[in-house]
Amino acid sequence: MKIIIVFILFILQTSFLFAQTKADLYKYQQVNEQQKSRPTKYHFGYPEKEHSTGQIFKDVGFAYALTWIFYPLTQPETVGQKGSWDKYQDNLGKIVFDHDAPFWNVMVHPISGSQLYLYYRANGYTKEQSFLLTTISSAMFEFTVEVYTEPASAPDLFNTPVLGSILGYGIENLSMYLLNTGNPLGRFLGHVINPSTFFWFYDGKMIITPDISKDGQAMFKLYMDF
């Protein structure tokens, strides 16, 4: 008789545990289905990382190559009318205090420097490293590219990296705020003022995935692709 009672109790307990496990499994599946239906959320930032000497040369070289492309594209008349390889040789190593219009000295050059700064930030360099590399890139442009039309400019050697990095730091903060608002218009504007976030070398776009574990604990998973 005792054996029968124990057996019945065992059957009842097993049935209860099975029903509870099945209910928990169903609940977990429902939560997963809800998570899959949610739109993917992203968090934008600037993860800083170590760079090898080869990678630094590669990043600086890429920026330098772009200056050879964009200089004649953005100033075709200047390059066509004033530029020559004879003038290039004469201008090498010279520094002058040019008399460019304020539009160039306090607008164009700082804006160009800000985008250089943001390019290096997007590649994972620290703020200090980005400022230093912006200074190097600016000097390379002044002494080896722009000399095709005119000597290197002392004001430009200051305005591009210094004012450009200050402006770039402000744009960085504003763009990150806009990109993380979750608003489509804000995200669009954030990319427009900081176009380096569009390209493959920017690795600060992290996927945020809400998750609930089997024991009911809520958490967020961050996925970053390096």
Q: Give the tens place of pLDDT for each residue, 15-70.
A: 444 444 444 544 545 545 544 445 556 789 898 999 999 999 999 999 999 999 99
Instruction: Looking at the structure, tell me whether residues 69 and 179 fall in a common domain.
Output: yes
168 lies in the same domain as 60: yes
Same domain? 123 vs 194 = yes
| 78-96 b/e (C-beta count within 10 Å ≥ 16 → b) | ebeeebeeeeeeebeeeee
Residues of the chain below pLDDT 50:
2, 4-23, 25-26, 28, 31, 34-37, 208-214, 217-226
The Cα–Cα gap between 196 and 115 comes to 8
Task: Check whether residue 130 and residue 184 sit in a common domain.
Answer: yes
Strands 95-96 and 152-153: parallel
Is 44 within the bounds of a domain? no
Residues 151 and 63 in one domain: yes
Co-location of 175 and 114 in the same domain: yes
- What is the pLDDT at residue 63? 96
Per-residue pLDDT, 220: 41
If asked whether residues 137 and 32 sit together in one domain, one would say: no
pLDDT of residue 205: 73
| CA geometry: angle 59, 77, 140, nearest 5 deg | 25
Check whether residue 181 and residue 144 sit in a common domain.
yes
Q: How far apart are CA 120 and CA 125, in angstroms?
A: 6
Domain of residue 152 covers 51-198
Within this chain, do residues 144 and 178 fall inside the same structural domain, yes or no? Answer: yes
Pairwise CA distance, residues 111 & 72, whole Å: 18
Task: State whether 96 and 133 are in the same domain.
Answer: yes
C-beta separation of 136 from 60 below 8 A: yes
Number of domains, the chain:
2
Q: Which residue in 181, 79, 168, 84 sits closest to 120, CA to CA?
A: 168
Q: Is residue 215 part of a domain?
A: no
pLDDT of residue 222: 40
Q: Is the domain of 139 the same as that of 191?
A: yes
The predicted model scores a pTM of: 0.74
- Residue 224 inside a domain? The answer is no
pLDDT of the residue at 209: 45
